[in-house]
Amino acid sequence: MQGISMRGQVLSSRLGLLLTLSLVGIVFTSVVILVGVWTRLVDAGLGCPDWPGCYGRLVVPDAERAMAHSPDAPLESFKAWVEMIHRYIASALGLLVIALLVAGAGLRKRRGYPWGVSLTLLVVILLQGAFGAFTVTLKLWPQVVTMHLLGGLAVLLLFLWLHLRLRRFAAGDTGEQPRRRLTPLWGLAMLLLLLQLALGGWVSSNYAGIACQGFPTCNGQWWPEMDWSEGFHLTQTVGPNYLHGQLHADARVAIHQGHRIGALLLGLALVALAIRHWHEARLRPWLGGLVGIYGIQLGLGIANVLMWLPLWLALLHTAGAVALVLCLALAVWHWREPALENNTIRRDKEWAHV
What is the chain's mean pLDDT, rounded?
92
Please state the φ and ψ torsions of residue 332, each to the nearest 5 degrees: -60, -45
**107 is in which domain, residue-wise?**
2-174+181-352
Q: What is the per-residue pLDDT for 7?
A: 59
Cβ-proximal residues to 255 (8 Å cutoff; 6+ apart), any chain: 199, 202, 203, 206, 208, 211, 231, 232, 247
**Distance from C-alpha of 197 to C-alpha of 68, rounded to nearest angstrom:** 40
pLDDT tens digits for 330-349?
999 999 988 765 444 443 34
List, for the chain, all residue ranges whose pLDDT scores fall below the cut of 50: 1-4, 342-354
83 is catalytic: yes
Cβ-proximal residues to 289 (8 Å cutoff; 6+ apart), any chain: 327, 331
* In contact, 76 and 49? CB cutoff 8 Å: no
Residue type, 295: G
Q: What is the per-residue pLDDT for 1?
A: 45
3-state secondary structure of 276: helix
124: left (phi over 0), alpha (psi -120 to 50) or beta: alpha
CA separation, residue 331 to residues 107, 159, 191, 252, 281 (Å): 28, 16, 15, 34, 12
Q: What is the per-residue pLDDT for 154?
A: 98
CA separation, residue 141 to residues 62, 239, 254 (Å): 28, 8, 18
**Distance from C-alpha of 317 to C-alpha of 259, rounded to nearest angstrom:** 13
Classify residue 156 as exposed, middle or buried by CB count within 10 Å of its CB (0-12, 13-18, 19+): buried
DSSP collapsed to 3 states, 47-92: CCCCCCCECCECCCCCHHHHHHHCCCCCCCHHHHHHHHHHHHHHHH
3-state secondary structure of 221: strand
Q: Which of 64, 76, 83, 225 is the catalytic position?
A: 83
pLDDT tens digits for 89-129?
999 999 999 999 999 999 999 989 999 999 999 999 999 99
Sign of the C-alpha dihedral computed for residues 103, 108, 111 and 112 taken in this order: positive
Residue type, 264: L
**Distance from C-alpha of 231 to C-alpha of 249, rounded to nearest angstrom:** 9
Kind plus residue range of the DSSP H or E element containing 31: helix 2-41
**Distance from C-alpha of 40 to C-alpha of 34, rounded to nearest angstrom:** 10
How many domains are contained in the chain?
A: 1
pLDDT tens digits for 205-229?
999 999 999 999 999 999 999 999 9
